[in-house]
Amino acid sequence: MESFIRTLPKVELHVHIEGTLEPELMFQLAQRNQIALPYDSVEAARKAYQFTDLQSFLDVYYLGAQVLQTEQDFYDLTWAYLLRCQQDHVMHTEIFFDPQTHTQRGVAFQTVMAGIIRALADGEQKLEISSRLILCFLRHLSEEAAFETLAQAMSYQEYIVGVGLDSSEKGHPPEKFRRVFEQALHAGFLTVAHAGEEGPASNIRDAISMLRVSRIDHGVQCSQDPELVQELADIQMPLTVCPLSNIKLRVFERMADHNLVDLLRHGLCVTINSDDPAYFGGYMTDNFLAVAHAFAVTKEEMAAFSAHAIRASFLPDEEKAKLQQRLDHYLQVQLHPIL
């Protein structure tokens, strides 16, 4: 199973590019930009990555992001992640970025975009990894700030496929951003939203009805509402679940307590993703392995997570078909070799 998972073709739909900032790169960028960090070593930084909930993580996350200052910084960050995708056999990735995290610090929206776009183009050309970019609004900030960020994104619609909603879920329900999402949809953006991670199952319902999302990011609290679970299965609403993140942030105490395999077996379109892998201890392969080690799953079930992610991606149908062919070929070789 382990070798099968390591080389399994994968698609990632839920990763925050700022959350891929490894301590080693953080220190390099801090030195480059002459920024003082509260850690005296890489090891000390890693020791700080012990979280009790989502907010305790976000405090460290925003601190690390301050080292990102220039176009080259954002290029280096994104390129390092893409190299990890290549290592993990990720064929396609749909990346979240948080422009407000940077514009609030005086870093121009254009600077952020230029570095990320250049790296993604190189990833397509040099690594054959396709990608899409999703702008996330920080839900702890105001509706007005989200509208301002959406206005900045309008001239980048060639590169930004959709908008999302992340950061602190508690106290910031989907309803807060209903008007922003209406405008984004009118402008032609697709929509997704973090919902049902720490917040209640009702946030999932509201994200679907109020924000008209194409995917729910996390969504694991749907199990609070059996009727919602059945509805999600019926409409095949994708859930971009992040197993190691959920354990690190105490959404579940142990991987064996996680509900994603149960949701998969109930017919939901569940996918596996890494969220903020530098902080949560694992990229795509690590997350797949953690699930396989905790549950008595078959290779076909593990491959279903990839098939679901292909189907739930924002790629054109012909591109989805090509990725599915690659997955099918892999499964044919692995599961039905010619004797």
Residues making up the binding site: 14, 16, 194, 275-276
CA distance 112 to 195: 26
List residues bridging with 92 in a β-sheet.
11, 130
- Alpha carbon distance 59, 55 (integer Å): 6
Provide the 3-class DSSP secondary structure of residue 27: helix
**Residue positions forming the annotated binding site for Zn(2+):** 14, 16, 194, 275
As a whole number of angstroms, the distance between CA 41 and CA 143 comes to 38
Find residue 229's DSSP bridge partners.
Answer: none
Annotated active-site residue 24? The verdict is: no
Cα-based distances in Å from 169 to 77, 137, 201 = 26, 12, 12
- List the structure tokens of 48: 């700080």
Which residues have a Cβ under 8 Å from the Cβ of 5 and sit 6 or more positions away?
285, 288, 289, 292, 302
Question: d(Cα 205, Cα 7) in Å, to the nearest integer?
Answer: 36
Tokens (6 digits) for 292: 């396989």
> What is the spatial distance between Cα 96 and Cα 296, in angstroms, rounded to a whole number?
31
Binding-site residue ranges for substrate: 276
Catalytic residue, from 18, 22, 169, 197: name it.
197
Backbone angles phi, psi at 32, to 5 degrees: -60, -40
Query: Measured between alpha carbons, how far is 29 from 13 in angstroms, rounded to an integer?
Result: 27
Catalytic residues: 197
